């Protein structure tokens, strides 16, 4: 007989570290993991946003803490990982969500902006994963890493959306996920990625203000993502229900990526 389905999705007794967890998609995922029973540590740069997010989660009955830090700083990453273990114990689930975007024509894209996106959107995933794996996951031979990619990492954009660095960084996240899954499966670590389409957030507010209605109309499901649409995917990858899934990129975009032209 198999395990009851409720037990497969239960995260009671587990700890999750969510980067970029103070708002948007990170906070949505933190909600899902916390409501399934996990203790949650949030990290992002701004203490005020983190305090508000932790209060929001606590009001939903979730054990939530926070640490302010810059995910682009390797020293800050190490501090967050060490302090999380000191305060909450071993980390079972790492959600690499911290990221940024920048729009500029490729021929004029500032090199400093390119480096900023690569450091935050790609390097921070490696540094967080390496630190948590060494401190918690490899010694215990178990762990779940969930990376936030994007449909922008799977294809190009319409000509008026000039986000060459962002697309490149998210493409790197896709193959980082596959390569790390192949290498760390021997340690009992599952590594997967969620690739969202367009969701309302601070990062997308400018684009959606200009093109939101048109984007929704071009989506097979005729809408953008909402405050619940990443929860099921995150819980699947984080829980025993997904224990035989690794190296996969799950697109959550309302069907945009299956439309040609």
Residues 6 or more apart whose CB falls under 8 angstroms from that of 255 comprise: 219, 220, 221
Asked whether residue 261 carries a pLDDT value surpassing 60, the answer given is no
Digit-coded pLDDT (tens) for 163-184:
999 999 999 999 999 999 999 9
Give the side-chain half-sphere CA count within 13 A for 12. 4
* Residue from 167, 148, 142 nearest 240 by CA: 142
Query: Which two tokens mark 225?
Result: 């993502």
Ramachandran angles phi, psi of 159, nearest 5°: -55, -30
Which bin fits 198, alpha (ψ -120 to 50), beta or left (φ > 0)? beta
Interval 221-246 mean pLDDT = 95
CATH C-level class of 5-108+115-203+220-256: alpha beta
**Predicted pLDDT of residue 4:** 96
For the cut 80, the answer to whether the pLDDT of residue 208 exceeds it is: no
pTM equals: 0.94
Q: How far is CA 182 from CA 132, 160, 173, 189, 253, in A?
A: 17, 36, 14, 10, 26
Between 91 and 198, name the one with better pLDDT.
Answer: 91
Token pair belonging to 194 = 């969620």
Average pLDDT of the chain to the nearest whole number: 93
Q: Which residue has the higher pLDDT, 125 or 258?
A: 125
Can you give the pLDDT at residue 201?
Answer: 65
Q: Tell which wins on pLDDT, 219 or 33.
A: 33
Query: Do the beta carbons of residue 98 and residue 71 sit within 8 Å?
Result: yes
- Interval 23-79: pLDDT, tens: 999 999 999 999 999 999 999 999 999 999 999 999 999 999 999 999 999 999 999
Q: CA nearest 188: which of 143, 127, 223, 252?
A: 143
Per-residue pLDDT at 223: 87
Residues designated catalytic: 166
- What is the percentage of the chain residues whose pLDDT exceeds 70? 94
Between CA 62 and CA 101, with CA 16 as vertex, the angle to 5 degrees is 105
What contacts 64, CB < 8 A, 6 or more positions away? 30, 34, 39, 40, 41, 42, 53, 54, 57, 58
Greater pLDDT, 11 or 224: 11
Mean pLDDT of 136-159: 93
Return the number of other C-beta atoms located less than 10 Å from residue 220's C-beta.
12
């Amino acid at each position: 007989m198999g395990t009851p389905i409720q037990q497969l999705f239960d995260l009671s007794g587990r700890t999750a570290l969510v980067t970029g967890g103070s708002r948007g998609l990170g906070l949505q995922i933190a909600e899902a993991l916390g409501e399934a029973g996990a203790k949650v540590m949030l990290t992002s740069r701004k203490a005020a946003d983190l305090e508000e997010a932790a209060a929001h989660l606590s009001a939903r009955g979730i054990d939530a803490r926070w640490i302010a830090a810059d995910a682009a700083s390797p020293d800050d990453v190490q501090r967050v990982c060490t302090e999380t273990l000191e305060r909450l114990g071993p980390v079972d689930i790492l959600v690499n969500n911290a990221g940024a975007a920048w729009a500029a024509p490729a021929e004029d894209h500032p090199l400093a902006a390119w480096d900023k996106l690569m450091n935050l959107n790609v390097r921070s995933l490696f540094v967080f994963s390496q630190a948590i794996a060494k401190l918690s996951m490899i010694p215990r031979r178990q762990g779940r890493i969930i990376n936030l990619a994007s449909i922008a990492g799977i294809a190009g954009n319409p000509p008026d959306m000039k986000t060459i660095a962002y697309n490149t960084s998210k493409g790197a996240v896709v193959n980082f996920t596959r390569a790390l899954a192949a290498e760390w499966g021997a340690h009992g670590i599952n590594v997967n990625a969620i690739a969202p389409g367009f969701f309302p957030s601070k990062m997308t507010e400018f684009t959606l203000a200009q093109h939101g209605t048109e984007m929704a109309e071009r989506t097979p499901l005729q809408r953008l993502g909402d405050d619940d649409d990443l929860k099921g995917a995150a819980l699947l990858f984080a829980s025993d229900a997904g224990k035989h899934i690794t190296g996969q990129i799950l697109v959550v975009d309302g069907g945009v990526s299956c439309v040609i032209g």
